[in-house]
Amino acid sequence: MVRPKKSLGQHFLKDQNIAMQIVDALEIDSRQSVVEIGPGTGVLTQYLLKRDIDLKVAEIDRDSVAHLKKHFPQLKKNLIEGDVLKMDWNGFAEKTFHVIGNFPYNISSQIFFKVLEHRDKVDQVVGMLQKEVAERIASDKGNKVYGILSVLLQAYYDIELLFIVPPDVFFPPPKVMSAVIRLKRNKTERLDCDEKRFKAVVKQGFQTRRKTLRNALKSLNLPPSITSMKLLDLRAEQLSVADFVFLTQQIEKSDG
Q: Which residues of the chain form contacts with ligand SAH (CB under 6 A)? A: 8-13, 37-40, 43-44, 58-61, 64, 83-85, 102, 104, 107
- Residue pair 178/12 in contact (Cβ under 8 Å)? The answer is no
Q: Which is nearer to ligand SAH, 38 or 147 (CB)?
A: 38
Q: How far is the CB of 166 from ligand SAH (least distance, A)?
A: 14
- Residue pair 43/13 in contact (Cβ under 8 Å)? The answer is yes
Q: How far is the CB of 58 from ligand SAH (least distance, A)?
A: 5
Name the closest residue to ligand SAH (Cβ).
Answer: 38
Q: How far is the CB of 134 from ligand SAH (least distance, A)?
A: 15
Helix, strand, or coil (residue 146): coil
- Strand partners of residue 170: 13
Q: How far is the CB of 155 from ligand SAH (least distance, A)?
A: 25
Q: What are phi and psi of 83, to 5 degrees?
A: -85, 115
**CA–CA dist 12, 2 (Å, integer):** 9
Q: Which is nearer to ligand SAH, 87 or 251 (CB)?
A: 87
Q: How far is the CB of 234 from ligand SAH (least distance, A)?
A: 37
- Strand partners of residue 36: 57, 100
Q: Which is nearer to ligand SAH, 72 or 206 (CB)?
A: 72
- Residue pair 60/82 in contact (Cβ under 8 Å)? The answer is yes
**CA–CA dist 101, 240 (Å, integer):** 28
Q: Which is nearer to ligand SAH, 105 or 146 (CB)?
A: 105
Radius of gyration of the chain (CA): 20
Q: Which is nearer to ligand SAH, 49 or 231 (CB)?
A: 49
Q: How far is the CB of 139 from ligand SAH (least distance, A)?
A: 24
- Strand partners of residue 13: 170
Q: Which is nearer to ligand SAH, 40 or 147 (CB)?
A: 40
